[in-house]
Amino acid sequence: MSDGNQSGRTGHVSSVDAARGLLALSVMAFHSLSNESIAAVENVGYYAVYAFFVISGFSLWISYYGKLQTSSDVRSYLLKRFFRIAPLYYLALLIRILLYPLPPTWPLDLPANITLMLGFYNPGATSLITGGWSLGIEFVFYLLLPILFVAVQSLRALVVVATMAIAMQVVFVNLILGTAEVMTGPLWASYSQPVSFAGYFLAGCLIGELFRAGPKKHYRHALTIAGAALIGFALVTSPYPVGFLTGWRGLLLTTLTIVFVAAAAFVPPVTGKLLKVSIWLGVISYPVYLLHPLVHYSLHKYGVPWAPLRIVLVFALTIAAAHYVSKYFEQPARRLGGSIAFRPKRDPEPT
């Protein structure tokens, strides 16, 4: 697959890379404003992360479709996925341990975090770093993908599976959260399970299949549709935070999240500096997501005064750290993973 919207790496679509980066910056903005008690924009905080699951399903589907045929293929795929998320995750976990004490439950939590198996063990309650819960759930979806390729052999079957996953997700979320107004710790632990987000991942896979198999990779109104989805987010309000996740608001915002990623995937290609910026946003997205809470905590710990200054420093220091960590830590680790999981040249680079 090669077209003008690609960054030259199979499985990467520059417009989706840009969306991933902007979503990571949105999560950083949400945490910064919330932690400083300046503003609470829970709809952004929730659904920017959930869009990552849609992007993950999309990227993995177009990267690995038809390429997980043998046990050796699956082994290579899992090794590459591990080296995609684990090195930076372990670095963030180490920094977190050095910054502040572990909770009393650490004898159980730490092994779940180190093995990345927390997705099977109450990820929202056991994650030791902010955002770590989503990586545990992401790893569950990594394990699901080879099974999905075997079980789903047609577009119609994928539509059925994705629809069922979204329906199951909506029902589960509404049953768990009910009429709650505030996301308490125990409620978050019950809610943050793979079933709450499987619909997003399967929707991403469906978008990936439409992109992969469709004769037309771009749609001239895609950017307008993506913008309209974001405007829809701004128009939806709720008298309490959990209200963004349940009822008609939750269903609407879930739909808008999927529509936004789908539209981003089909945006016409860009060139020149805009293409470079799009690729760069995708490159820094993961380190921005993991490192910004640690940067914010460090600024508090070392007494940086005045909340607006802390927010400016969070953005500046996190983006700078993300750039250099990606260049000198993430990418070498990824290359190491690729060499360990050696396969023929037809195998895609991890996204």
pLDDT in tens, 151-210: 999 999 999 999 999 999 999 999 999 999 999 999 999 999 999 999 999 999 999 999
Please check whether residue 23 lies inside any domain of the structure.
Answer: yes
Predicted confidence (pLDDT) per residue in 61-91, tens digit: 999 999 999 999 999 999 999 999 999 999 9
pLDDT of residue 253: 97
Question: Could you give the CA distance from residue 231 to residue 216 in angstroms, rounded to a whole number?
Answer: 26
Q: What is the mean pLDDT of residues 102-122?
A: 93
pLDDT of residue 336: 87
pTM: 0.93
**Residue 43 pLDDT exceeds 70:** yes
The pair of structure tokens assigned to 253 is 């915002």
pLDDT of residue 20: 97
Please check whether residue 7 lies inside any domain of the structure.
Answer: no
Predicted confidence (pLDDT) per residue in 241-266, tens digit: 999 999 999 999 999 999 999 999 99
pLDDT of residue 290: 97
Predicted confidence (pLDDT) per residue in 269-300, tens digit: 889 999 999 999 999 999 999 999 999 999 98
Please check whether residue 350 lies inside any domain of the structure.
Answer: no
Q: What is the mean pLDDT of residues 315-333?
A: 96
Question: Could you give the CA distance from residue 257 to residue 268 in angstroms, rounded to a whole number?
Answer: 20
Question: Could you give the CA distance from residue 98 to residue 191 in angstroms, rounded to a whole number?
Answer: 29
Question: Could you give the CA distance from residue 158 to residue 96 in angstroms, rounded to a whole number?
Answer: 40
Please check whether residue 324 lies inside any domain of the structure.
Answer: yes
* Confidence grade of residue 11 (pLDDT, cut at 50, 70, 90): low
The pair of structure tokens assigned to 231 is 């405007």
Share of the chain above pLDDT 90, in %: 81
Please check whether residue 186 lies inside any domain of the structure.
Answer: yes
Q: What is the mean pLDDT of residues 46-55?
A: 97
Question: Could you give the CA distance from residue 96 to residue 18 in angstroms, rounded to a whole number?
Answer: 28
Q: Mean pLDDT score of the chain, rounded to an integer?
A: 91
* Confidence grade of residue 351 (pLDDT, cut at 50, 70, 90): low
pLDDT of residue 41: 86
pLDDT of residue 316: 97
Are 217 and 211 a contacting pair, CB within 8 Å? yes
Please check whether residue 80 lies inside any domain of the structure.
Answer: yes
**Residue 3 pLDDT exceeds 50:** no
pLDDT of residue 77: 95
Predicted confidence (pLDDT) per residue in 204-241, tens digit: 999 999 999 887 788 889 999 999 999 999 899 999 99
Domains identified in the chain, total number: 1
Please check whether residue 173 lies inside any domain of the structure.
Answer: yes
Residue 322 lies in domain: 14-340
DSSP assignment of 282-340, as one string?
HHHHHHHHHHHHHHHHHHHHTT--SHHHHHHHHHHHHHHHHHHHIIIIIHHHHHHHHHH
User: Who's near 234: CB < 8 A, 6+ residues apart?
Assistant: none
* Confidence grade of residue 10 (pLDDT, cut at 50, 70, 90): low
Please check whether residue 346 lies inside any domain of the structure.
Answer: no
Q: Please give the DSSP secondary-structure letter assigned to residue 8.
A: S
DSSP helix/strand/coil, 13: strand
Closest by CA position to 16, among listed 217, 215, 255, 267: 267
* Confidence grade of residue 4 (pLDDT, cut at 50, 70, 90): very low
